[in-house]
Structure 1
Amino acid sequence: MVKVSICINSELTFKEDFQKFKKELLDETSKNGKITLQENTPKDTGAGAKAYKIKKSDNQHIISNDTEYLPWVNDGTGIYGPRRQRITPKTAKFLHFHWRGREWYLKSVRGQRPQRFVEVSMIEIEKSVPQAVMIASRHLR
């Protein structure tokens, strides 16, 4: 007959191990998430990709980016955005801007197609969680 016994010396040890595991899992997942978002963020000047920050608390890590234009890049503008209409000037007769080395005067523009880099990043982050769990589980041994 084989006898198997499990001895837990102290509840405190388990709690400490679990806290280390949770901290490591949050750290690893948020770090991977930030890197994935930075890699997938469309780059013109690179300002949007460089602006990701991680805010940490005991139970959650929040990856944020305060770059004003990123929601428009992700979700689209004009006929491709939530309003589904061309972009027109509010007070002037023409929109005036420089683009691709030229100066433009236009009555309206279609807008920008959505690039959906956040959604693509979320799928990649979800796929990386099992690896993060394995890395964090080093503290449970």
Structure 2
Amino acid sequence: MEMLTYHEENIKDLALKTMWYAEDFYESLSAELDARLDRKTFNEQILFAYHSTAYSTFMGFKLYYLQNTELSESKFDRFIEAFERFNLEFLSSRSTGHSMQHTFMYYGDLVDTFNDLADLLQIQHIKKPD
């Protein structure tokens, strides 16, 4: 049981950090959209720095989860799938110049799956955007 507690603490930390960075990325993406609507300049490097940090932390989370089978639980799997959909949608929309509407929608799905996981891990929820 002690080993499971050790893994739970690590996975809680990785899950929270993944979502904090994803939230920073989402807020930066929203700020970019607002800047475009107001015809203001936006530092795109900041957006990609947040994306890179969120994705790197997520990959650490995913690898830790996959290496520790005692953590096996469908809520982890759903969170991983939701993050991957969110990430791929952003990359696809960005590379084709399409609207970020679906990216924002997938972020909402990501928050929902994280909050389900947060209940399991007994950690704080992330507020879903309006």
Structure with bigger gyration radius: 1
TM-score of the pair, normalised by structure 2: 0.33
- Comparing both chains, which one has the higher relative contact order based on Cα–Cα distances under 8 Å and sequence gaps of 6 or more? 1
TM-score of the pair, normalised by structure 1: 0.31
Higher helix share: 2
